A = this chain, B = another copy of it.
Amino acid sequence: MADMKFSVSAKREGPALVRVQARNFSMYVDEPANLGGSDKGANPVEYLLGALAGCLNVVANLVANEMNIELRGMTIEAEGDLNPGRFSGKSMEERAGFKQIRVTLNPDLQADEATKRKWLETIEQRCPLSDNLTNPTPVKITLA
């Protein structure tokens, strides 16, 4: 299959605020006041968790269809902890981002336990967001 390209454009509207355009969709990424922002939108790591939840849902449905099991509904909780020391410049001891991300899937799925485990395992192997988080992804940043 051919590679697919995805892209976004963002414009700074404040010290912590950008307006992001992705095709015909726009979103504000900001920070709450305690992190120096104007709280006009979710913050970057919340968008990351939302992206992961959305990606898991897409693949969960795809894999359920392939396995001929019906996914009637699902809720997803995602959370992570990070230490703000490096981000804020106060300490370089810990990593900047989430140390671990925990996700709980609560699917309405008519299947036995072994089938559910196989379903989950397949989702993890095929979710683009899971891959980009769990495995190193080169990020090349250049100045225009």
**Residue among A74, A137, A140 with the highest chain B CB neighbour number at 10 A:** A137
Partner of A6, one of B2, B46, B104: B46
Tell whether A77 pairs with B9 under 8 Å between CB atoms, given A57-B16, A128-B96: yes
Interface residue count on the A side (C-beta < 8 Å):
109
**Residue among A49, A73, A80, A140 with the highest chain B CB neighbour number at 10 A:** A80
A:88-129 near B, CB below 8 Å = 88-92, 95-107, 116, 120, 123-129
Residues on A facing B (Cβ under 8 Å): 1-12, 15-18, 20, 22-23, 25, 27, 29-32, 35-37, 41-59, 61-63, 66, 71, 73-92, 95-107, 116, 120, 123-144
Interface of A is mostly: mixed
Q: Is there contact, CB below 8 Å, between B81 and A5?
A: yes
Partner of A75, one of B12, B17, B107: B12
Task: A48-B51, A133-B133 are known; give 15 further A-B pairs, CB within 8 A.
Answer: A4-B82, A6-B79, A8-B77, A12-B76, A27-B50, A47-B50, A51-B51, A66-B89, A82-B128, A86-B126, A103-B140, A105-B141, A116-B143, A132-B133, A133-B137
